[in-house]
Each structure stands twice: as C-alpha cells, then as structure tokens.
Amino acid sequence: MTFSSIRRALGNTYRDVLKNETLQAAAALSYYTLFGAFPGLILLSAVMAHLPLRDFFQDSLFALGRVAPPGTIPMVQSALQDISAKRPGAWLSLGTLGTLWVVSSAFDELIEALDAAYDVEDSRPFWKTRILAVALAGLTGIFLLCGIATMIVGPRAGQWIAAKLSLSHAFVVVWPSLHWVLAFLFAMLTVEAIYFIAPQVKQRFLWTLPGAVLSVLCWIGLTHLLGIYFHYFANYNRTYGTLGGVMALMTWLYWAYFILLVGCELNAELAKERNASQVSTAQPLGNRRNIGRAA
C-alpha cells in the first residue's frame, strides 16, 4: 500500500467519523457499558465468593484502579460489599440472566457501530447477533483477565518464573519491562478480536492490526491525560459527591469507545484502499485506459 493510499485512508477516516456520528455511538456504548459493568462485577464477585479466588478478584480491582479514573474503584468496591452482604445468592440465579442480557446489549450496540464503520448492513438474525454478543463479551473478558493477571504478578514474579522454567538471569532482568509488554499485547489481542469478530465482513486477522495499534496507544495516552485532568483540574468527587466516580467513569468510557470506533473506521478505510488497489492491479491495461478516458 502506497503512502498516498494511507493518506487518503486517514482523510476518509476523519470524514466517516463525522458521517457515522461516532461521538453519539460512543455515548450510547458508554451508557450500555456502565449499566452492564456493575451487574457483571456483582455477578463475578458472587461467583468468586464460592471459589478460592477472592484474593485474585480484589487484586484485579486494584489493578483496574491503575487505569480507571481516580475514585472509581473505591466506589465499585463499596457497592459490591454492600450488595453482596445482603443477598449474594440472588446474583447466582435470577441475576445471571439479567446480567447476560445487559452485557449482551452493550456488545450488540458495539456490533452495530462496527458494521456502520464498514458501511454494511447486518443481515444476521437477532438471536444470532445476541449469541455473538455474549460470546464476544466472554472472549473479551478472558483476554482482559489475562492482561490484568499479567499486571498483578508484578516484577518480582520474574524470579519465580525463571526458577520454575530454569531460565537465565537475563529473563529476571528483562521481566519488569516484559510483563508490561505482555499486558499491552493482551490489550491489543482484545481489540483485534473485537474488530475481527464483531462486524459482518470477511477479513484477515492481521488486517485489523493498524486500528488496534492506534486504539491501544491512544487509549493509554487518554488514560494518563484523564488521570491528570481528574486529579488537578476536575475533582468530580468534590463537585458531585458520591456520584463523582460514576461521572468520571462515564467520561473515561466515552472517550475510550470513541477511540475504539475510530480505530475500526481506519481499518475499514484501509480495507477499501486495499481492495481498490487489488482491483486496479487485476484490471487489464486497455480497460484501465478506457476508465481513465471516461473519467
């Protein structure tokens, strides 16, 4: 792909972001995710209470606190403790169905937004997209848990891994940086899986890499910038009280989803440029001349 094709794809990405109302789609996705995240965490907390993984769940929340807006995780922990102390068993029965429906609604909206990025209409039946949304939510959760687990083990785990696998001391030296690289790769894999599975288009898995790299890098920068903004310029807890954590989380989700959708728009435009170049290459010379004269 030539430099002019990439530049043209970037320009078309900007126009499609405006045409497809990406900001509005990001707002809808943040709304659905906020309503799905709390029931999902409550259900996960209830499940972990019956397994020897309670410490891992608490450590996961602590790891999420490194990337989530300030004040969000303490609010979540307080809500989880309050609800699980009253009726923890209810979330393992009727609450499970409600949680799956809410979470699938968020991913169903995401599938629709990614189809719009590729300018395709989803012809799959309702039940099939719902099953796909639930499966996508589960797959995303698994990848994110792997990334969180990589963050939790920390730099000291390199010595334990080197001893178990009989690795050299160089691995111990490199591990403090390597475990962050692994967390980054799991985030990349999560975004690529969403780009590859969600829209109803045929594409290769590696073709989703440019948008995934853009999304993850911008998301990391966004997280740091919002952390500075919330800490020094907009103290939501002081302004909104107990709702400050919710407001900060909504803002963070809104821009995170916007970045995710922009990455998909970029992949869609790169795919169009790639298909156009393939058609142009396959076209006979005489036909190409005729097309140029007609234009």
Q: Using CA atoms, how far apart are residues 156 and 159, in angstroms rounded to an integer?
A: 6
pLDDT of 56 reads 61
- The pLDDT tens digits for 15-55 are 888 888 888 889 888 888 877 766 666 666 666 666 665 56
pLDDT attached to residue 178: 78
Distances (CA, A) of 124 to 194, 200, 202, 268: 17, 8, 14, 20
| pLDDT for residue 82 | 63
Cβ pair 269, 211 in contact under 8 A: no
Q: Give the span between the Cα atoms of 190 and 15, in whole angstroms.
A: 26
Q: Are the C-beta atoms of residues 273 and 5 closer than 8 Å to each other?
A: yes
Residue 295 has which token pair? 């234009």
What is the residue-wise DSSP string for 234-260? Answer: --HHHHHGGGHHHHHHHHHHHHHHHHH
Q: What six digits make up the tokens of 48?
A: 């972990």
Q: Which residues contact 225 (CB under 8 A, 6 or more apart)?
A: none
- Tell me, what's the pLDDT at 77? 66
Give me the pLDDT at residue 212, please: 92
Q: What is the pLDDT of residue 294?
A: 37
* Residue 89 or residue 59, greater confidence: 59
Count CB atoms within 10 A of the CB of residue 30: 21
pLDDT at position 74: 67
pLDDT at 225: 82
Rounded CA-CA distance 293/44 in Å is 64
Local confidence band at 8 (pLDDT 50, 70, 90 cut-offs) = confident
pLDDT digits (tens, 9 = 90+) for 134-188: 888 888 878 877 777 776 666 666 676 777 777 777 777 777 777 778 888 888 9
What are the φ and ψ backbone dihedral angles of 70, each rounded to 5 degrees? -60, 140
Q: Which residues contact 294 (CB under 8 A, 6 or more apart)?
A: none
> Would the pLDDT of 57 be above 90?
no
Average pLDDT, the chain: 75
- What single-letter amino acid sits at 191? V
Select the more confidently predicted residue: 84 or 151: 151
E runs forming strands in the chain? none
Six token digits for residue 293: 């004269």
User: If you count them, how many residues does the chain have?
Assistant: 295
Are 1 and 258 spatial neighbours (Cβ–Cβ below 8 Å)? no
Q: Is 104 exposed, middle or buried (0-12, 13-18, 19+ CB in 10 A)?
A: buried
Give per-residue pLDDT as tens, 187-239: 899 999 999 988 888 888 888 899 999 999 998 888 888 777 776 766 666 66
pLDDT digits (tens, 9 = 90+) for 256-282: 899 999 999 999 998 888 877 765 555
